């Protein structure tokens, strides 16, 4: 039977080492940073911010001079006839028909235009700045959600690892009892049915061990997915050490800093600016412009002929004054005013939701804390009982089955304590997020 124990220990050790080979030990903070660096959606959102920032450059470009050059080579195969309402001297007709121009008419033009005043310029910049802030807020919201997800996954991996360790101890203990029972059975002090009970305990412990190995392996795969990496990694911390440095700010609510509320505030700001933008549509726009042209009128196609090119140029200021747009600006402004009311209602709803969520998660955290304290007391009590029963067993006061029950009680207390730490840490993360402190 000692060979069975050795094989079990070797098998479990091999499984654990299989996870650890080439695996990078990583802390919780390192895991969070690695996830932030690797996750594709964060990289995509960073590119969206770049696009939003570039819009201001486009707005500036609209106010640079717009310069165009054009050339036109024309052959008038038939000149247009013009009718003059009078007769030329010596003519008996009451009107005169003439054809003006030359068969070849070439033109080169340089046109420049510069905006002088447009009420939309300032509003467009404010709209773009607000949209950029909205994209940044979305990135921050994604980071918070990712931080929570990675943290809970990291805790789950540690929990699975420590459960695996406890199941390994439980299997060793079950094998030890089976060995002792085998000796007693051979000595004739216990029945075959009693020996079968110990064999059943070993079988159940093996099943639990196999399941915990699978759970731990899956938890590491999940952690790899959360960090978007193909590198083998495993937590370098344990639940107890994390519990020691976990700080919970008691009832310090910062729900007004939640990114969801800020998103509605930015949408409200955008709708306010859109109202101003619609109103500015009825304001005039002013532009300055200039034109310099060369015209060639020639009987034959010869762009280099002397005396056939004639210059023309002009400058001016153009004002475009909207008078009536069919109430489009007014109707659009009304829609944006309604959207502002929707944003305000959404902010009020979110504040109520987050206040409730923070209170609910705080109560869950407090209950988890009480459960953790109770589980810790149970471990101390179970350890005391086991020490007493070991002494009683050595003195022959109790039988091995009684000692086994005491050890199983300690095993259950250890599992409960481990589960209580895990539940407390998860509850603390969810409370931090709900209260706006994550």
pLDDT, tens only, 259-317 = 999 999 999 999 999 999 988 888 889 999 999 999 888 888 888 888 888 999 999 99
pLDDT at 15: 52
pTM of the model: 0.83
The answer as to whether 110 is a domain residue is: no
55 close to 63: Cβ distance less than 8 angstroms:
no
Question: Domain limits at 407?
Answer: 248-282+326-438
Query: Any residues with CB less than 8 A from the CB of 405 and at least 6 apart, and which?
Result: none
**pLDDT score for 70:** 94
pLDDT of residue 104: 87
Paired tokens of 157: 């991996």
Q: What pLDDT is attached to residue 20? A: 57
Residues 6 or more apart whose Cβ sits within 8 Å of residue 169: 411
Does residue 437 belong to any structural domain of this protein?
yes
Which tokens sit at 421? 């730490």
In a domain, 290, yes or no: no
The structural domain count of the chain equals 1
List the Cα angle 50/56/62 in 5-degree steps: 135
Residue 12's pLDDT is 52
Percent of the chain, pLDDT > 90? 58
Closest CA to 435 of 352, 327, 341, 362: 362
| 207 occurs within a structural domain | no
CA distance 275 to 341: 13
Question: Looking at the domain assignment, is residue 178 inside a domain?
Answer: no
Q: How far is CA 300 from CA 98, 103, 155, 282, 306, in A?
A: 20, 7, 89, 51, 12
Say how far apart CA 50 and CA 128 lie, in whole Å: 12
pLDDT in tens, 349-381: 999 999 999 999 999 999 999 999 999 999 999
In a domain, 430, yes or no: yes
Orientation of helix 328-394 relative to helix 400-434, angle to 10°:
160
pLDDT score, position 1: 44
Q: Which residues of the chain have pLDDT under 50?
A: 1-6, 8-9
For residue 65, is it within any domain? Answer: no
Tell me, what's the pLDDT at 38? Answer: 95
Q: Is residue 265 part of a domain?
A: yes
φ/ψ bin of 191: left (φ > 0), alpha (ψ from -120 to 50), beta (otherwise): beta
């Amino acid at each position: 039977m000692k060979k069975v124990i050795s094989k079990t220990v070797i098998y479990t050790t091999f499984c654990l080492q299989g996870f650890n080979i080439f695996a990078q030990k990583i802390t919780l903070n390192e895991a969070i940073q690695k996830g932030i660096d690797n996750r594709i959606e964060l990289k995509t959102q960073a590119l969206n911010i770049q696009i939003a920032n570039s819009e201001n450059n486009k707005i500036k470009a609209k106010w640079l001079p717009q310069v165009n050059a054009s050339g036109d080579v024309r052959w008038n195969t038939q000149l247009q006839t013009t009718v003059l309402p009078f007769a030329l001297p010596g003519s008996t007709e009451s009107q005169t028909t003439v054809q003006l121009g030359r068969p070849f008419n070439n033109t080169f033009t340089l046109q420049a235009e510069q905006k002088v005043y447009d009420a939309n310029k300032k509003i467009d910049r404010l709209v773009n700045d607000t949209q950029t802030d909205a994209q940044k807020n979305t990135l921050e919201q994604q980071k918070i959600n990712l931080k929570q997800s990675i943290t809970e996954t990291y805790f789950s991996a540690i929990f699975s690892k420590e459960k695996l360790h406890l199941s390994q101890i439980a299997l060793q203990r079950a094998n030890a009892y089976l060995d002792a029972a085998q000796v007693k059975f051979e000595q004739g002090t216990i029945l075959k049915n009693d020996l079968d009970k110990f064999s059943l305990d070993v079988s159940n412990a093996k099943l639990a061990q196999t399941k915990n190995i699978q759970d731990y392996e899956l938890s590491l795969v999940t952690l790899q997915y959360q960090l978007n990496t193909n590198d083998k990694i495993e937590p370098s911390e344990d639940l107890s050490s994390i519990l020691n440095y976990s700080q919970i700010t008691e009832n310090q609510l910062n729900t007004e800093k939640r990114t969801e509320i800020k998103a509605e505030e930015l949408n409200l700001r955008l709708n306010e600016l859109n109202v101003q933008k619609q109103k500015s549509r009825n304001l005039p726009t002013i532009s300055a412009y200039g034109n310099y042209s060369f015209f060639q009128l020639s009987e034959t196609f010869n762009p280099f002929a002397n005396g056939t090119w004639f210059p023309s140029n002009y400058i001016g200021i153009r004002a475009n004054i909207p008078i009536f747009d069919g109430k489009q600006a007014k109707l659009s402004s009304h829609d944006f005013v309604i959207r502002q009311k929707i944003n305000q209602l959404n902010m009020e709803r979110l504040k109520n939701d987050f206040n409730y969520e923070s209170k609910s998660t705080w109560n869950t955290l407090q209950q988890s804390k009480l459960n953790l304290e109770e589980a810790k007391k149970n471990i101390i009590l179970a350890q005391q009982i086991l020490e007493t029963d070991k002494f009683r067993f050595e003195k022959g006061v109790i039988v091995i089955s009684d000692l086994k029950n005491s050890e199983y009680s300690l095993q259950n207390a250890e599992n409960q304590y481990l589960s209580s730490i895990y539940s407390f840490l998860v509850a603390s993360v969810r409370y931090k997020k709900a209260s706006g402190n994550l």
